[in-house]
Amino acid sequence: MTTRDDADRREYYRIDDTIALEFSQLNGAQALASEALHDSSPLFNLLSDLHLADFESQHLLRHITERDRTLANYLKVINKRIDLLGQAVAQSLLRDIGLPRSVSLSEGGISFNNAQAIEVGSHLAIKMVLMPQALGLLLRAEVIHCHPRDDLQFEIGTRFEALTDAQRQLLARHILQKQALQRRQARAQPYPRA
């Protein structure tokens, strides 16, 4: 018998990652609304907006590159400087959010361990900082499973809701970059001798 969790796992590629993660439960009208969430931290919102603006301007940079390579190279340098500022902001945010934790992440959702159970069907605001590119995302999610573990923790599985195209593509880019890094690291490992 195929469960909904199994189908979700096959629909999207999942990676194991270590990220800064914070969540809160959404209640009433907040849980039902589909508009984008906003965090109370101006630094987190700034980090999130930086990456969305970068994503939205990528096609413009490709057009500029076709017409004027010098200008395109200059804009890439400026973009790199902005990325470095974003990483500095992310380091400050990491102190506020807490220690990075292990998660299983896909474009469809995120699973993580938590000290308390969360009711299936609950709606969450999930705030995460993905490294190393210091990508800040605040996403809506619904809890699809909550299983007790042997270590007195609970494995919480969620499905993202109402993702914008930009959020989905930023997640996909992070997952692809992490997957490529894992492949490079695996190739760099020496083969065990028989």
Type of residue at 155:
E
Mean pLDDT of the chain: 83
Question: What is the model's pTM?
Answer: 0.75
Is it the case that residue 168 has pLDDT exceeding 70? yes
Lowest mean pLDDT among 2-16, 28-42, 69-83: 2-16
State residue 102's pLDDT score.
Answer: 93
Q: Where are the alpha helices (DSSP H) in 68-100?
A: 69-97
Q: pLDDT band for position 164 (50/70/90)?
A: confident
- Which CATH topology does 4-186 take? Thrombin, subunit H (2.40.10)
Domains of the chain, residue spans: 4-186
pLDDT tens, 93-131? 777 777 789 999 999 999 999 999 999 999 999 999 888
pLDDT tens, 51-78? 788 878 888 888 898 999 999 899 889 8
List the end-to-end C-alpha distance of the chain, in Å, as a whole number.
40
